[in-house]
Amino acid sequence: MKFSKRELSLISLIGVLLLVVSVSFIVHFDNNEEEEMDWYFEEEVVEQVTNEQTENIIIVDIKGQVQSPGVYELVAGQRLFDLIELAGGLTPDADELKINLAAILDDAMVIYIPKIGEEDIPTIQSAALSGNSSASNDGKIKINKATVQELQQLPGIGPAKAEAIISYREDNGPFQTVEDLQKVSGIGSKSIEKLKEHIEIK
């Protein structure tokens, strides 16, 4: 069967049109598939980041001499001065000398900021003074939470070594083992042996 030139031209044109439509459909399908994959991965990443952020959130209650006492959300590892800033800062009557602004905060802590000249300070003052409770149930000193004064209760630890322990802790983070104390200037293996039964790593 022979086709005229006009019929051949029409057949060729129809073939080209079909080819164009097919290519357009394939490209459109691939783009949609890529967009769906991108959306899936973006959603997965957002969910992962959100979960991590939720795990790092701590809730702390601050009372006493701050502009806006109350309960605040922070991120694990933040310090007392961060919380005070969220609470609007200290009042003019706050006794700043009795608090440790560099104290690391823990979840469910209660912080009390005392007033200048206040003698009858509530029992929750330990949170404001040291950043958290520094004595465990068995009387041991929590080395990662104790104040300078509390560290001096340990055998062989005077004011200078107590300051050095806190400085190292603030610069390098919490001690992970008792032996880590040897990284502090002036504390050797013999000191560690004396300290082991008196301190707690938490």
Residue 157: what pLDDT?
Answer: 87
Angle at 199 between CA 155 and CA 195, to 5 degrees: 40
Cα dihedral angle (106, 48, 171, 163), rounded to 10 degrees? Answer: 10
pLDDT, tens only, 106-161: 777 888 888 888 776 654 444 444 444 454 445 688 888 888 878 888 888 888 89
Domains in the chain (CATH in brackets) are 57-200 (1.10.150.320)
- For the entire predicted model, the pTM comes to 0.42
* Rounded Cα distance, 202 and 7, in Å: 88
* Rounded Cα distance, 161 and 86, in Å: 33
Residue 133: what pLDDT?
Answer: 47
